[in-house]
């Protein structure tokens, strides 16, 4: 894999969109097989004039770019800026200030500050060990009320629909039992696709997933699934709620 060795080289290298493309593909999909970040399928086709891939499975967010599912996703900054910034932050031993990013990349101070913080945060995540593995617990929490605390009928209805959050925010919390490491993200709903991509993003294949009965609606082949019927019992031994 190509890796620039000096800042000058990095700036030059990442100013070429083809280099950015190859660099990202090589790191996101090291075995060379591009897979859909939502469903994990490798049946994807590249739409070269749009610089996007499209998954052949029918689900929401079928089209994805190099940025989709990465820390660069929701930013208007190009990969040329992001990759150069990431290179600088990871390679400059004495640390990089947002002012330096602003000057070197020709982006606003505000954008530079955002980039710096986002990359640092991602690196911290990396330091804490990457994806969760082994025995993990998946818990969906409604902010303002636990799914499990709902009235039985309402809970059944909500779970059957898998999407009616009653206007409440859903937090997908995932705990690694052995280390007590936790990943928590806000998700838009409890639909199958949403749950699957949320879990795939942070849990290593081969893990055993413990969840409540709603887990039946988003089971995935790459994990062992254990449904716990009595959530109170399952929660009592843990700290993550
Ligand atoms: Zn897909």
Model pLDDT for residues 75-89, shown as the tens digit of each residue: 999 999 999 999 999
Which CATH code of 3.10.450, 3.40.140, 1.20.120, 3.30.420 fits the domain covering 135-236? 3.30.420
pLDDT digits (tens, 9 = 90+) for 155-171: 555 555 444 556 667 88
More confident residue, 127 or 213: 213
Separation of 53 CA from ligand 1 center, angstroms? 10
Separation of 51 CA from ligand 1 center, angstroms? 17
- Tell which residue, 33, 34, 38, has the closest CA to residue 51: 34
Separation of 205 CA from ligand 1 center, angstroms? 17
Separation of 56 CA from ligand 1 center, angstroms? 7
More confident residue, 189 or 43: 43
Domain boundaries, the chain: 135-236
Separation of 47 CA from ligand 1 center, angstroms? 15
The model's pTM is 0.56
In percent, the amount of the chain with pLDDT more than 70 equals: 81
pLDDT digits (tens, 9 = 90+) for 91-125: 887 789 999 999 999 999 999 999 999 998 887 76
Residue 174 has pLDDT above 90, yes or no: no
For strand 52-55 and strand 44-47, is the pairing parallel, antiparallel, or unpaired? antiparallel
pLDDT digits (tens, 9 = 90+) for 217-227: 999 999 999 98
- Give the three-state DSSP class for 105: helix
Listing from the earlier edge strand, what are the strands of the sheet with 63-64?
44-47, 52-55, 63-64
Separation of 60 CA from ligand 1 center, angstroms? 8
Separation of 143 CA from ligand 1 center, angstroms? 29
């Amino acid at each position: 894999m190509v890796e620039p060795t000096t800042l000058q080289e990095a700036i030059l290298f990442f100013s070429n969109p083809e280099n950015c493309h190859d660099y990202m593909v090589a790191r996101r999909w090291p075995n060379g097989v591009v897979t859909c970040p939502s469903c994990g399928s490798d049946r994807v086709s590249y739409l070269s004039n749009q610089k996007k891939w499209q998954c052949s499975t029918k689900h929401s967010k079928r089209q994805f770019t190099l940025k989709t599912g990465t820390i660069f996703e929701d930013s208007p900054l190009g990969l040329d800026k992001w990759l150069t910034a990431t290179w600088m932050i990871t390679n400059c031993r004495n640390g990089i200030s947002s002012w330096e990013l602003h000057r070197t990349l020709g982006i606003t101070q505000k954008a530079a500050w955002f980039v710096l913080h986002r990359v640092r945060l991602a690196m911290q995540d990396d330091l804490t060990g990457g994806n969760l593995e082994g025995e993990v617990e998946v818990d969906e929490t409604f902010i303002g009320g636990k799914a499990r605390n709902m009235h039985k009928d309402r809970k059944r209805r909500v779970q059957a629909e898998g999407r009616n959050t009653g206007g409440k925010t859903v937090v997908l919390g995932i705990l690694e039992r052995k280390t007590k490491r936790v990943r928590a993200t806000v998700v838009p709903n409890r639909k199958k696709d949403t749950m699957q991509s949320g879990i795939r993003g942070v849990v290593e294949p081969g893990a055993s997933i413990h969840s409540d009965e709603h887990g039946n609606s988003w089971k995935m082949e790459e994990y062992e699934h254990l449904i716990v019927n009595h959530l109170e019992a399952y929660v009592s031994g843990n700290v993550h709620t």
